[in-house]
Amino acid sequence: MVSLNESRVDVLVLGAGPAGVMCGNALARAGVNVRIVDKRAVRVAAGQADGIQPRTIEVLQSYGLADCLHSKAALMVMAAFYNPGPKGIERIGRVPDVTAPTARYPYEATLHQGEIEAIFLDSMKKEGLQVERPIVPIALQISDDPEELADPRAYPVKVVLKHLAKESGDDTEIVRAKFVVGADGAHSWVRKTLGFSMDGEQTDFVWGVVDIVPSEVTDFPDIRNKSAIHSTNGSCMVIPREGDKIRLYIQLSDTDAVNPQTGRVDLGRYDPERLLKVANKIFRPYTIHAIPDQIDWWTIYQIGQRVASRFTAHERVFIAGDACHTHSPKAGQGMNASMNDTHNLAWKLTHVLRGWADISLLKTYEFERRKYAQDLIAFDKEFSALFSEKLREDGEGHGPTYEEFIGAFQNYGNFSSGVGVHYSPSAVTDPLYQAAAENLIIGQRLLPHVLVRAADAREVNIQDLAPSDSRFKLFVFPGVHADKVASFLERPEGFFNRRRDACSVITIMCGEKATVNHLAVPPVLRPHWTKVLLDDTDITGTRGGWIHERYGISRMAGAIVVVRPDGYVGTVAPLDKLTVLDDYFGSFMLST
């Protein structure tokens, strides 16, 4: 007999932080049957993570959410660096904050975590999904029946949820799920329940963080830029924030901040006033003064750099976000890595649940995201050491020189901006024919570029033709072979006709907006008039053009670029090797 408080769901998301809401929103938009629960009674009101990298802005844009971010966030365009001088700190340089030349958005955005979550919550709501609160999981069990585990239609995961706001006796329910996503934070209950370890180490660096609104007395000239300050009294970072707020990251003496009895950071030893006092020593000769009563968040913490031993159990329960990696907030990575975990996972779950892909596709989640998390820790170690150690001058000290520091800052641009993420070969990433589009790296995200629509000359970024809509995109650069490509796609036995619902076709013609005729393209290559683009500049002549050269695709030979539903280049097919597309899709897709 089924108990009254037992129900089924395709995907249960545990936790509504950045990883959870990205997951919930992506699945809800895809029409997946999903629930999302969180232990907090209300969403975060202030503080916590706040930095959005250029690549994450691209991802938000792919869900139609970047405009909303831009309307609310502060943008960090420039980064300033200060060093000790004879009378206190002195600026030694102010340079572009984002040094990744391919970034579509050449800045970082900052906004408090609650507002970022709200962007997703609003979007989810339009799809009929709301976070259920306050709810915690209290038991989780995965079937050990191999047949059940292999059957995508089965519900092999049993979760017991406890509703914290309900009367005892009526406060638990059983949920049977096809898949569970544990996005339940650094102290993840799901991770502990699955028995995964966190591998890595604690560092010696202790930092204080405080969000303030500077008063008029504040005379530090880079108060609205990202600023990294090395002083004889320690290090500090300024992160400008939405409205008039700023955030300060302040290096603390671990002997002051750590309780010698417990060996752990002791919040009781600090308060915002004391943090500002430390900051003002660092900022000399400048003064940082906060408007009283507008300090809405502060904390102190020790940097831990760890990665979970596993990201999934049987590809039925997954962990994502802080549950599987923790690192310093110095390079602004945390929330970004978390959201990109579930951005990677959501489309794969969708494909399996729709019966489009084999369940083995889900193995690529741990494969891709755990490697990324490990790279991130390695990056973070170097990067946060850079910000934690005193600069070496005149041969004194052990830290980096200023030149090494700026060099490292700029060298890490590709990684810290998030645009350098590179997924290794797998079922969904096949670099065999990289040479057919040699500058468009298979495994990396689709390079942004401006095109114009052939029919109406409207400007469009190619990334906006690859929205996060669960579909693979076939970007056809037909060269002189449009008819050949059309015949290939029209073969009844080809993958395209067997899984038409999983693929969109977009054609990019050579030509000029003053003379092009989009109707000259074979019908299968123009499913809608908006899907024929032109390799030409926009009407002002200042944006776009030369995408063939940018991507390294021959205007004669052409190519088909396959972009995964998450915006990463899956493979490239030369037009004289079109059957590789059947091989690529055949390796993970199921036929109708």
Note the residues at the interface with a second copy (CB under 8 A).
Answer: 67, 74-78, 93-96, 106-107, 216, 219, 221, 223-225, 240, 244, 452-453, 455-458, 513-515, 517-519, 523, 529, 539-540, 542
Cβ proximity to a second copy, 96 vs 467, nearer residue: 96
Cβ proximity to a second copy, 106 vs 234, nearer residue: 106
Cβ proximity to a second copy, 228 vs 320, nearer residue: 228
Closest approach of a second copy to the CB of residue 546, in Å? 15
3-class state of residue 303 by DSSP: strand
Cα–Cα distances (Å) from 111 to 6, 108, 115, 146, 244, in that order, read 39, 10, 7, 45, 12
Among residues 10, 18, 35, 50, which one is catalytic?
A: 50
Cβ proximity to a second copy, 12 vs 451, nearer residue: 451
Sign of the C-alpha dihedral computed for residues 299, 328, 53 and 340 taken in this order: negative
Q: Strands across the sheet with 503-509, in order? A: 459-461, 450-453, 532-534, 503-509, 472-477, 559-563, 569-573
Cβ proximity to a second copy, 212 vs 455, nearer residue: 455
Phi, then psi, of 274 in degrees rounded to 5: -70, -35
Closest approach of a second copy to the CB of residue 455, in Å? 4
Q: Which two tokens stand for residue 176?
A: 């049977």
Closest approach of a second copy to the CB of residue 519, in Å? 6
Cβ proximity to a second copy, 107 vs 205, nearer residue: 107
**CA max distance for the chain:** 80
Helix (H) or strand (E) holding 453: strand 450-453
Q: Residue written as tokens 């024919």?
A: 433
Closest approach of a second copy to the CB of residue 452, in Å? 8
Helical H segments across 142-284, by residue range: 146-150, 189-194, 254-257, 272-283
Please choose, from the candidates 469, 463, 455, 481, the residue with its C-alpha nearest in 3D space to the C-alpha of residue 533: 455
Closest approach of a second copy to the CB of residue 535, in Å? 16
Cα gap 7→9, rounded to integer Å: 7
Please choose, from the candidates 218, 272, 207, 271, the residue with its C-alpha nearest in 3D space to the C-alpha of residue 240: 218
Active-site residue flag, 266:
no
Active-site residue flag, 329:
yes
Active-site residue flag, 50:
yes
Closest approach of a second copy to the CB of residue 62, in Å? 16
Among residues 63, 82, 107, 249, which one is catalytic?
A: 249
Cα–Cα distances (Å) from 267 to 236, 299, 301, in that order, read 19, 7, 8
Residues whose CB is less than 8 angstroms from the CB of residue 517 and which lie 6 or more positions away in sequence, other chains included: 454
Residues annotated as part of the active site:
50, 241, 249, 329
